[in-house]
Amino acid sequence: MCGLLCGCGNLPEPYPPPAQRPFFEAPAEAGRILNMSDADAEPHFVQDIDTALQGNTWRWTGKRPTIHLHPNTNQKLLYSIDFAIAGSTFQQTGPVTLSFFVNDHLLDRVRYAAPDRRRFQKPVPAEWLEPGENVTLAAEIDKVWTPPQPGGKPLGFILVALGLEQQDAEQK
């Protein structure tokens, strides 16, 4: 009896499907700044970047932190890095020199004579990149801080963000 009552309901009237709209893809990003706090940051790490996120924004590096990105262009890109030289490591190392690399090409080398938060940006020559191909970005410090206890990891600098950003028309 129950089966008869359940099977005798009125069905809703048929109706047409909603109007279809064309699908538009958002334009792919020319570059990307990889913040160390990004949820997808770790798959971009190649070497010398600690997996432990500190202060919800930064990570310790080793001697040559390296990431890979996949820009869709090689035009008007800036190598961009936000970092800090920690006072606690600077006490042992003294002034340090950082070398900045794009696909193993030396972009620049800068000496830092005091601890502080820093930003370095410089245009990347287009011929160093192939559009749509992986690119490696690195920053190498000449002296790392070595902890006094055995087995401690040498520390380079504090990395906040590293990547490529599209250069605006007024930036040169």
Report whether pLDDT(25) > 50.
no
The rounded percent of the chain whose pLDDT value lies above 90 is 73
Measured in residues, the chain has a length of 172
pLDDT above 50: residue 101: yes
Which pLDDT value is given to residue 3?
52
pLDDT of the residue at 137:
98
Residue 42 carries which DSSP code?
G
pLDDT score recorded for residue 150 = 86
Q: What's the mean per-residue pLDDT of the chain?
A: 88
* pLDDT higher than threshold 90 for residue 121: yes
**What's the CATH code, domain 28-166?**
2.60.120.260
What mean pLDDT do residues 75-90 have? Answer: 96
pLDDT tens-digit readout, 28-67: 457 899 999 999 999 999 999 999 999 999 999 999 999 9
C-alpha distances (whole Å) from 40 to each of 20, 29, 31, 103, 121 are: 33, 16, 15, 21, 23
Q: Domain ranges in the chain?
A: 28-166
Query: Can you tell me the mean pLDDT for 99-122?
Result: 98
Residue 40: per-residue pLDDT: 96
Lowest mean pLDDT among 14-23, 80-89, 163-172: 14-23
pLDDT the model gives residue 24: 44
Q: Which residue from 87, 37, 39 is spatially nearest to 58, judged by alpha carbons?
A: 37
Q: 28-42, 103-117, 128-142: which has the minimum mean pLDDT?
A: 28-42
Give every CB contact of residue 92 below 8 A, 6+ residues apart in sequence.
145, 146
Is residue 18 predicted with pLDDT exceeding 70?
no
What's the rounded Cα separation, in Å, for the pair 137 and 154?
21
Residue 83, pLDDT > 90, answer yes
